[in-house]
Structure 1
């Protein structure tokens, strides 16, 4: 996998060839990556800022314990984006950006309207378990967090020792919990699209990260992407 080519305008700063055939044009200028990294930072902060503003009233409710926990988890995103490391590689293909932001926004389209809960206790347990998973994954990533595929250092500790994408596993677990709490055809459709986008995001992220030999070794050690024994 170390030799897998990365298509499109994605380049490793430390892996650029200095040979005459490649020349300086083959290297992605640090300034170029910094500009696109900054654009992504502004977009992420804007999206999560609006989300947190909308979540705030529910978090103030006496029964809004899940909203308060979600506020903590998604508020951490804002902190991580502000403090994160500069990207060493960054996808610049429009498709990668579209999939990344569509995957981020799609789950927000679910509604609280729906039929009676299918399994209230199971739903609550899955919601809390999913939140704990994606909060723990964010803490493991820490300053490596991003939305668009990028490389800010390879994370191999914490939950990332178990599967390669524990944050997505956490979100998907929470999706199942919310659907059980608010079952509807609309919510099922939204989550089906969200899961498809998660699969595409995983493919794009791993294709970019495979340019780093350390990530190839990590993939060999940590075989499963989401669920051990399945995928």
Structure 2
């Protein structure tokens, strides 16, 4: 009789190791962004740093989990979507008359993100994972309010800190973000509580549209 032994994945492919690698990458990119903001001379650049600092902080304090997607495609999408915001270039405000709108969008987007992150607390993550189902606060209105907040901040950046490269960066970032969102829901839908939540809150990102 032969016994089949399931081989263990290599150490670098274990969820705990990938979790730490993700944290290191986010912190390093945040340091690069912080130095870029400091040198930009754009008075509105700190509004961008507020948003991305929250991402870095919550990535560091989140709780570990074994319910983490091990699909390489999911990881690439998650890192692309997250890194896009950390790679933007603080440019200039092309239309001064739109500055109040840009400031409003930046403040609103950061507040929505903060609300969502405070509800998630240590359940926050970058790669698709189940760190606990949260359905209170802004999650009563859309299933991914944090991403909605990101969208508002990114619009604000285009108004207050326009740079041609940011168009490319955000286009790639949001392509990855939407696919990442769908990957997250495929994983979370395996949880009965989240499956029921999806039936209650219909819209993922924008009420009435998506």
Mapped contact 1:34–1:86 kept (Cα < 8 A): no
Report the CA distance between 1:37 and its aligned residue. 3.2
C-alpha distance in 2 between matches for 1:62 and 1:113: 9
Query: Where do 5+ consecutive residues of structure 2 fail to align?
Result: none
Residue 224 of structure 1 is matched in structure 2 by: 203
Residue 133 of structure 1 is matched in structure 2 by: 112
Residue 187 of structure 1 is matched in structure 2 by: 166
Report the CA distance between 1:87 and its aligned residue. 1.5
C-alpha distance in 2 between matches for 1:24 and 1:210: 30
1:70–1:191 distance in 2 versus 1, CA, 3 Å: closer
Choose from 202, 206, 211 the match for 2:190: 211
C-alpha distance in 2 between matches for 1:155 and 1:33: 29
Residue 99 of structure 1 is matched in structure 2 by: 77
Structure 1 or 2: larger helix share? 2
Choose from 51, 56, 59 the match for 1:81: 59
Choose from 151, 163, 186 the match for 1:172: 151
Instruction: Determine if the alignment matches structure 1 residue 45 to structure 2 residue 27.
Output: no
C-alpha distance in 2 between matches for 1:24 and 1:163: 44
1:105–1:184 distance in 2 versus 1, CA, 3 Å: same
Mapped contact 2:62–2:122 kept (Cα < 8 A): yes
Report the CA distance between 1:46 and its aligned residue. 3.5
Residue 109 of structure 1 is matched in structure 2 by: 87
Residue 132 of structure 2 is matched in structure 1 by: 153
Query: Where do 5+ consecutive residues of structure 1 fail to align?
Result: 1-22
TM-score by length of 2: 0.81
Report the CA distance between 1:41 and its aligned residue. 2.8
Report the CA distance between 1:154 and its aligned residue. 0.3
Q: Secondary structure in 1 aligned to 2:101?
A: helix
C-alpha distance in 2 between matches for 1:99 and 1:63: 30
C-alpha distance in 2 between matches for 1:175 and 1:218: 28
TM-score by length of 1: 0.75
1:109-134 CA-partner distances (Å, limit 9, x unpaired): 32223562361110111111111111
Aligned residues: 204
